[in-house]
Chain A
Amino acid sequence: MSLSTWVRRVGKPVVFVACLVPFSLLVTDLFQGQLGANPIEEITHRTGDWILILLFITLGITPLRRLTGWGVLIQFRRMLGLFAFFYAVAHFSTYVVFDHFFDLASIVEDIAVRPYVTVGFTSLVLLIPLAVTSTNGWVRRLGGRRWHRLHQLIYVSAVGGVLHYLWLVKADVRRPIVFGLVLVALLATRLWQPRKRRRPAEATVGDAPAPLAESG
């Protein structure tokens, strides 16, 4: 089996199913009454965690690829980024349906006056253009350079996501701080690694900062 066949037949299906495991567990736990006294809080927390984890894995592809030289990793980046978006949609839908029951006025008020909601909502909105332009067609249409510039929004979104978490906890900031440190490490790899290894030919499409889509 060639590498590209392996990616298509084995690699991607495995990653796809793996990304759905947290969601499946959530659904089965919900229907078996295993989410405790406050199921919605549990759903909100778990989907929130998985947004950040998947964003971080997405952001980790480029540094890991540089470190290992495994070019094949880039082929998984779009799927991982789209799953981060999937969990973000689940997270926000839970908020709209169960916290506010589609009450637009109270949602707007929430977003307008509460900084942690504002920043969380912004982070979600920023992911929308990235999800939309994640197809090969959009990469072609925008051209590599513009596509990359657009997809650098993932940095803003990830920083916003961590702030959203940090600003909502009552007292125990340990977990948001850990998430923040991981993000700082991932961003730091962007600062110094390219200087060591980048060659002019590499600096275009397949490389570079931004995830959601794999590139040609």
Chain B
Amino acid sequence: MLIKKTADIKPSEITPEKVYLDRRSFVGQAAAFGAVATVGAAVPWANRGADGGAQDDLELTSYEHVTSYNNFYEFGTGKGDPKKNAHTLRPRPWKVRVDGEIAKPGDYDLDDLLSGITIEDRIYRMRCVEAWSMVIPWRGFPLSTLINRFEPTSKAKYVEFRTLYDVEQMPGQRRRVLPWPYVEGLRMDEAMHPLAIFATGLYGRDLPNQNGAPFRLVVPWKYGFKGVKSIVSIRFTEAQPRNTWAVMAPREYGFYANVNPDVDHPRWSQKRERRLPGLFKNRKTQLFNGYADEVGHLYAGMDLRRNF
């Protein structure tokens, strides 16, 4: 099988940040010249779920900040550690084990999985449970695209994802700061929601190692820790997965982890957030991170205080 590798982008093909930031006018020009401008796909999503409030709500966080301030304990617990240490990760070749309640389990090569999949641009708010937020232009595709291929059975109620566990590639795993490997999960209907994506890149480039190369989960209406990185295992289960932070500190982190200004973390308030690199915590946190219109129905009738 011939596989088109998305990794093989020549440096000359990478969108410079300047052009990327200015892509609407770029799209306009490209259209004028009759070119096919796939980046235009970002535009409809950019306006989705905006709170109608501040005009700068979706002003992008700089590439520098998105890639130098990361929670990725597999490379160290400091925010700057992942950028410093993630060079040991080898994002290709990359194997993904897919198993559980599906018709087509197996060990897949990531590039095989990605073949025939259209990579889209999605601009999402990213709200960390630590009360800061960013706006990140991801590249990726809906989880549902991949999930449908595996043909889940009726017993598949949840999906569980695991990060690579390899102390050679992820030196932070030598210390048991967390019980490795990192585990996260979603309910099936959450996973099938069109806003839930696997990201393979950001700012029009491949995902930097410190952001979870070669592919990671992005669920914009949930706290950032749900976005499990460098995924090597996708398992479909009947029982709710035991996600790492909920195991670590069950009083502080739950399975759902939906962004919610009314449910405080026991140690700090979630009412407001600091939009990085801003100084003041002056932004009101929005229910479901501003995506309530799209995802609210998934939680109809649920007690969000108990299911935090």
A residues neighboring B (CB under 8 Å): 36-41, 98-101, 106, 109-110, 114, 116, 167-168, 170-172, 174
Contacts and interface: CB of A to CB of B under 8 A. Distances in A.
B150 interface: no
A53 to B, nearest CB: 18
A98 B269 CA distance: 14
A36 B79 contact: yes
Contacts of A41: 79, 132
Given A171-B73, A171-B178, A37 B277 contact: yes
Interface in B21-70: 61, 65-66, 68-69
B79 A171 contact: no
24 contacts: A36-B68, A36-B69, A36-B79, A36-B277, A37-B68, A37-B277, A38-B79, A38-B132, A38-B274, A38-B276, A41-B79, A98-B279, A98-B280, A98-B281, A101-B280, A110-B269, A114-B267, A114-B268, A167-B267, A170-B249, A171-B77, A171-B177, A172-B73, A174-B175
A98 B281 CA distance: 6
Contacts, number: 58
Given A114-B267, A171-B177, A38 B281 contact: no
Contacts of A101: 280-282
B281 A100 contact: yes
Nearest to B80: A36
Contacts of A172: 73, 77, 175, 177
Nearest to B71: A170
Given A38-B276, A99-B281, A101-B280, A168 B177 contact: no
B7 interface: no
B248 interface: yes
Contacts of A116: 267
Contacts of A109: 269
A37 B276 contact: yes
A35 to B, nearest CB: 8
A170 B220 CA distance: 22
* Dominant SS among interface residues on chain B: loop
Contacts of B65: 36-37
A174 B77 CA distance: 10
Nearest to B277: A37
Nearest to A175: B77
A41 to B, nearest CB: 8
Nearest to B128: A38
Contacts of B178: 171
Contacts of B66: 37
A37 B281 contact: no
A101 B283 CA distance: 12
Interface string B120-137: 000000000010101000
Given A114-B266, A171-B77, A174-B175, 6 more contacts: A36-B79, A37-B65, A37-B276, A98-B281, A110-B268, A170-B249
Interface in B240-268: 248-249, 266-268
B267 A38 contact: no
Given A114-B267, A168-B267, A171-B77, A39 B281 contact: no
Given A100-B281, A101-B280, A171-B248, A38 B177 contact: no
A106 B80 contact: no
Contact of B269 (A36, A38, A106): A106
A38 B268 contact: no
A198 B79 CA distance: 48
Nearest to B69: A37
B183 to A, nearest CB: 15
B247 to A, nearest CB: 11
A33 to B, nearest CB: 8
Interface in B72-87: 73, 77, 79-80
Contact of A37 (B61, B77, B130, B248): B61
Nearest to B65: A37
A174 B79 CA distance: 15
A216 B51 CA distance: 64
A41 B69 CA distance: 11
Contacts of A37: 61, 65-66, 68-69, 79, 134, 276-277
Contacts of A168: 267
Contacts of B80: 36
Given A99-B281, A114-B267, A171-B177, A38 B69 contact: yes
